[in-house]
């Protein structure tokens, strides 16, 4: 059974068809890349999966570990193990990074029937994971995403992913706005979390991220449908010929 199953997903925004029958199966231990030009519906797909208000399916079905997500609110999906690293992480003025992480982790633990971590144990764990992402203590004291640089925002997203240990992670343009060094840190962080029980869906416009996070499968999204799927070599084809060649061929 797939860990994440998207069946024939249709979605409209403002009466405009954005997703036009996306289907995708992601198994445990796999990394999938979804590539596509701007406006092809990549972020819409990720919001739909995460259960954002207004992104309800018109038609189709999504299953996480065999359980239908359609009736679940966003928070329930998250606690069930679905994580979205945002293309544009949102600022939360006055909300300290450490407290935010703790609330999130404890919500997930509670859902899993695990005990909440006590304060000290939590801080220790958070610092350990943070240092791997080159996130300094000082940054965790600051308000979530407020005044963070592009790189800091993305590192903080991946830190949250590391702390939450989701079943399925969707990374929406996690490479955008990153310089070479930051790209390496973020990719190492993601790779460290690859294991046989989880799955990662990397959404990206560019091939360069896939040099660092090497996917098992690559899918090309265009106008809200997957027009082609293949192995990592498909990303190289995009790199060489651009999207237009593939889209025209489809």
Partner 1 sequence: MVATQETIDKVKEVASSYKYGFVTELEAEKAPLGLSEDIVKFISKKKKEPQWLLDWRLKAYKKWLAMDEPNWAMVNFPKIDFQDIYYYSAPKAKPKLNSLDEVDPELLKTYEKLGIPIKEQEVLAGVAVDYVFDSVSVATTFREKLADKGIIFCPISEAVQNHPDLVKKYIGSVIPISDNYYAALNSAVFTDGSFVYVPKGVKCPMELSTYFRINEQNSGQFERTLIIVEDNAYVSYLEGCTAPQRDENQLHAAVVELVAMDDSEIKYSTVQNWYPGDKDGKGGIYNFVTKRGNCLGKRSKVSWTQVETGSAITWKYPSCVLRGDESVGEFYSVAVANNAQQADTGTKMIHIGKNTKSTIISKGISAGKAQNTYRGQVQIQKNAKGSRNFTQCDSLLIGDQCGAHTVPYINQHTPSARVEHEATTSKISEDQLFYCLQRGLNTEQATSLIVNGFCKEVMKELPMEFAVEAQKLIGISLEGSVG
- CB closer to Mg ion, 98 vs 210: 210
**Binding segment toward ligand ADP, per CB under 6 A, in 42-50, 100-108, 110-118, 176-184:** 42-50
Instruction: Give yes or no for residue 165 binding partner 1 (CB under 8 A).
Output: no
Q: How far is the CB of 223 from ligand ADP (least distance, A)?
A: 9
- Entry field: residues in the chain: 250
Residue 52 interacting entry, from Mg ion, partner 1, ligand ADP, none, C-beta within 5 to 8 Å by type: partner 1
Instruction: Give yes or no for residue 114 binding partner 1 (CB under 8 A).
Output: no
Give backbone dihedrals phi and psi of 58, rounded to 5 degrees, phi first. Answer: -80, -35
**Binding segment toward partner 1, per CB under 8 A, in 94-102, 128-136, 214-222, 231-239:** 94-102
The DSSP code for 231 is S
Residue 15 interacting entry, from Mg ion, ligand ADP, partner 1, none, C-beta within 5 to 8 Å by type: none
Instruction: Give yes or no for residue 75 binding partner 1 (CB under 8 A).
Output: yes
- For tokens 């990662």, the residue is 200
**Binding segment toward ligand ADP, per CB under 6 A, in 31-39, 75-83, 111-119, 177-185:** 31-39
The DSSP code for 83 is E
**Which residues of the shown chain bind Mg ion in the complex (CB under 5 A)?**
42-43, 87
Cα–Cα distances in angstroms (integers) from residue 145 to residues 98, 99, 155, in the given order: 12, 13, 10
Binding mask 34-53 for partner 1 (x = CB under 8 A): ----------------xxxx
Q: How far is the CB of 201 from partner 1 (least distance, A)?
A: 15
Among 36, 97, 166, 215, binds ligand ADP (CB under 6 A): 36
Kindly give the interhelix angle for 150-164 and 119-132, rounded to the nearest 10 degrees. 130
Cα–Cα distances in angstroms (integers) from residue 247 to residues 20, 40, 197, in the given order: 15, 11, 34
- CB closer to partner 1, 101 vs 226: 101
Residue 38 interacting entry, from partner 1, ligand ADP, Mg ion, none, C-beta within 5 to 8 Å by type: ligand ADP
Cα(138)–Cα(135) distance, integer angstroms: 8
Instruction: Give yes or no for residue 74 binding partner 1 (CB under 8 A).
Output: yes
Cα(153)–Cα(247) distance, integer angstroms: 32
Across-strand partners of 24?
Answer: 6
Q: How far is the CB of 202 from ligand ADP (least distance, A)?
A: 13
Cα(247)–Cα(124) distance, integer angstroms: 49
The DSSP code for 28 is T
31: number of Cβ within 10 Å: 23
Among 2, 10, 13, 21, binds ligand ADP (CB under 6 A): 13
**CB-based contact 218:243 (threshold 8 Å):** no
Which positions lie near ligand ADP, rule CB under 6 A?
A: 13-14, 16, 18, 36, 38-44
């Amino acid at each position: 059974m797939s860990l994440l199953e998207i069946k024939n997903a249709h979605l409209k925004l403002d009466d405009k068809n954005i997703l036009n029958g996306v289907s995708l199966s992601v198994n445990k231990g796999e990394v999938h890349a979804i590539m596509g030009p701007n406006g092809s519906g990549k972020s819409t797909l990720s919001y739909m999966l995460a259960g954002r208000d207004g992104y309800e399916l018109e038609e189709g079905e999504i299953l996480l570990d065999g359980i239908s997500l359609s009736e679940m609110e966003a928070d329930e999906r998250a606690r069930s193990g679905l994580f979205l690293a945002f293309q544009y992480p949102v600022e939360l003025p006055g909300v300290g990074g450490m407290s935010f992480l703790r609330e999130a982790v404890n919500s997930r633990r509670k859902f899993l029937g695990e005990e909440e971590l006590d304060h000290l144990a939590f801080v220790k764990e958070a610092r350990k994971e943070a240092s791997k992402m080159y996130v300094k203590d000082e940054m965790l004291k600051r308000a979530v995403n407020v005044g963070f640089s592009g790189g800091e925002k993305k590192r903080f997203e991946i830190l949250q992913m590391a702390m939450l240990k989701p079943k399925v992670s969707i990374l929406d343009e996690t490479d955008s706005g990153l310089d070479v060094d930051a790209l390496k840190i973020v990719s190492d962080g993601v790779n460290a979390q690859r294991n046989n029980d989880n799955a990662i869906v990397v959404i990206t416009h560019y091939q360069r991220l896939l040099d660092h996070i090497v996917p098992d499968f690559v899918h090309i999204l265009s106008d809200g449908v997957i027009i082609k799927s293949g192995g990592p070599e498909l990303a190289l084809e995009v790199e060489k010929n651009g999207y237009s060649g593939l889209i025209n061929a489809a």
